């Protein structure tokens, strides 16, 4: 018997519906692209430019005007000074022009060769300025009338100065200088080690703590609801309040932790928990675990409660131990959610900045790559180096995500 082909449906209608769907999704796609892709491209662009904080604005000509000399009677002389400078130390400003109005009652005695005077209107063509250019333009004037209340204020007529400057960001000159400086820094390996330790230990610790909390509260007992809410406290508490509490609690002079250790005889001198290597890195990692294990706890507990309990009853009848039931029955059921949580927590912890900055400020061996971005970009105003470190973070996370999904795909194929 001949096999008939399956119906193809109304293809023109399907294409029309597909075009309509893409049309409806287009504003969302464009919005996401503008929010995510454009800043990412900007960071890559800046990372290949030797840009400092002062380079974010294009170079420009700046003029400050003042009057030197006293004027009261006709014939008194003074000098109008324009202190001129290029705002950028390296880039050139071209076609600089100064236009100003000489106050009424003053007559110009001599003009700079670059300037012209039409009535009271001063017009100076100052040419091109190299980076870091500074000069003082002086215009001698004489009083033509009496000024009983003192000399006229030249700043009442604001000098207009213009010029064209090329921004460093807009040029097509690229360099690996920022990346060379980042990788050649003396503390780069220590920063990378602190980042890896903080991320890996913090991620695994949060998952393990969340797993134990979920196993504990998966059973039905009195007060379970209260404990569930209590376990969520570290995650919902404001980070600045939680960090301040930890810093106060472990303060070497007035902290309760040190007072307790001293009274119990475990130590003879106070311990600087957040100011001593490598204890500071361990403490910020413990803080990371304590603060973010509730997220793992919520997801794992929700998955546990969706597991069919009949398989555990059958295992009890076969004489399986609690560890065997967890290892061979519960853990395979949790593999999916644990994989997702590990990926999310790893990315979030790798990008974490505020916790470390509030606890230690990146001192005592706790300077991670994200803290390094802040210090390069804002503490020493090297925007290019900060963007280069941000690109390094992105590449690290991209490499980790690629290896992670390959390993996960390999695990699913087995």
Q: Give the integer Cα–Cα distance in Å for 309 and 315.
A: 10
Q: Give the dihedral of Cα atoms 11, 15, 20, 23; nearest 10 deg.
A: 170
Q: pLDDT tier at 23 (50, 70, 90 boundaries)?
A: confident
Residues constituting the chain: 414
Residues 190-210 have a mean pLDDT of 95
Q: Is the pLDDT of residue 315 over 50?
A: yes
What percent of the chain clears pLDDT 90, i.e. is strictly above it? 45
Peptide bond into 277 cis (omega under 30): no
pLDDT of 1 strictly over 50: no
- Of 385, 373, 372, nearest to 49 by C-alpha is 385
pLDDT reported for residue 147: 78
**Does residue 168 contact residue 51 with C-beta atoms inside 8 Å?**
yes
pLDDT number for residue 155: 59
Q: From the centroid of its chain, how far is CA 352? A: 10
Residue 164's SS3 state is: strand
List pLDDT tens digits, range 158-169: 788 999 888 777
Per-residue pLDDT for 126 more than 90? yes
Q: Residue 60: left if φ>0, alpha if ψ -120 to 50, beta else—which one?
A: beta
| pLDDT surpassing 50 at residue 249 | yes
Residue whose entry in the numeric block shows the structure tokens 């590990």: 342
User: Which DSSP string do the residues of 299-347 spell out, in sequence order?
Assistant: HHHHHHHTS-THHHHHHHHTT--HHHHIIIIIHHHHHHHHHHHHHHHHH
Reported confidence tier of residue 4, pLDDT bands at 50, 70, 90: low
Structural domains in the chain, CATH included, are 59-165 (2.60.40.1170), 188-366 (1.10.3720.10)
- For residue 396, with 0-12 CB atoms within 10 Å meaning exposed, 13-18 middle and 19 or more buried, which class applies? middle
pLDDT (average), residues 194-219: 93
DSSP states along 367-379: --HHHHHHIIIII
348-402, pLDDT tens digit by residue? Answer: 999 999 999 999 999 999 999 999 999 998 888 889 999 999 999 999 999 999 9
pTM: 0.78
pLDDT in tens, 321-353: 888 888 888 888 898 899 999 999 999 999 999
């Amino acid at each position: 018997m001949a096999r008939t082909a399956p119906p193809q449906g109304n293809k023109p209608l399907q294409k029309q519906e597909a075009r309509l769907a893409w049309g409806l999704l287009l504003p969302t796609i464009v919005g996401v692209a503008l929010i995510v892709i454009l800043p990412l491209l900007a960071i890559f662009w800046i990372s290949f430019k030797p840009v400092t904080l002062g380079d974010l604005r294009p170079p420009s000509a700046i003029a400050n005007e003042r009057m030197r000399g006293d004027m009261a009677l006709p014939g008194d002389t003074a000098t109008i000074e324009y202190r001129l400078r290029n705002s950028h130390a390296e880039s050139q400003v071209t076609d600089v022009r100064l236009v100003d109005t000489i106050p009424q009652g003053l007559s110009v005695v001599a003009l700079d060769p670059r300037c012209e005077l039409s009535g009271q209107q001063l017009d100076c063509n100052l040419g091109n300025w190299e980076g870091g250019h500074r000069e003082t333009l002086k215009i001698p004037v004489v009083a033509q009338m009496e000024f009983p209340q003192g000399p006229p204020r030249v700043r009442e007529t604001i000098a207009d100065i213009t010029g064209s400057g090329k921004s460093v960001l807009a040029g097509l000159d690229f360099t690996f200088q920022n990346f060379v400086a980042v990788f050649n820094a003396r503390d780069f390996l220590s920063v990378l080690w602190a980042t890896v330790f903080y991320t890996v230990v913090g991620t695994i610790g949060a998952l393990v703590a969340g797993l134990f909390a979920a196993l504990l509260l998966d059973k039905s007992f009195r007060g379970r609801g209260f404990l569930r809410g209590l376990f969520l406290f570290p995650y919902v508490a404001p980070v600045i309040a939680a960090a301040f509490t930890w810093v106060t609690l472990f303060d070497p002079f007035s902290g309760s932790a040190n007072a307790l250790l001293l009274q119990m005889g475990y130590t003879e001198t106070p311990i600087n928990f957040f100011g001593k290597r490598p204890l500071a890195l361990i403490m910020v990692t413990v803080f990371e675990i304590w603060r973010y294990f509730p997220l793992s706890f919520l997801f794992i507990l929700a998955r546990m409660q969706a597991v069919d309990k009949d398989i555990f009853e059958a295992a009890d009848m076969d004489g399986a131990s609690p560890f065997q039931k967890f290892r061979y029955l519960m853990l395979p059921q949790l593999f999916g959610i644990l994989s997702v949580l590990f990926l999310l927590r790893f990315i979030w912890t790798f990008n974490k900045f505020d916790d470390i900055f509030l606890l230690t400020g990146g001192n005592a061996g706790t300077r991670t790559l994200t803290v390094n971005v802040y210090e390069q970009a804002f503490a020493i105003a090297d925007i290019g180096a900060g963007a280069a470190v941000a690109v390094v973070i992105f590449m690290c996370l991209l490499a980790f995500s690629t290896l992670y999904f390959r390993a996960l795909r390999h695990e699913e194929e087995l």
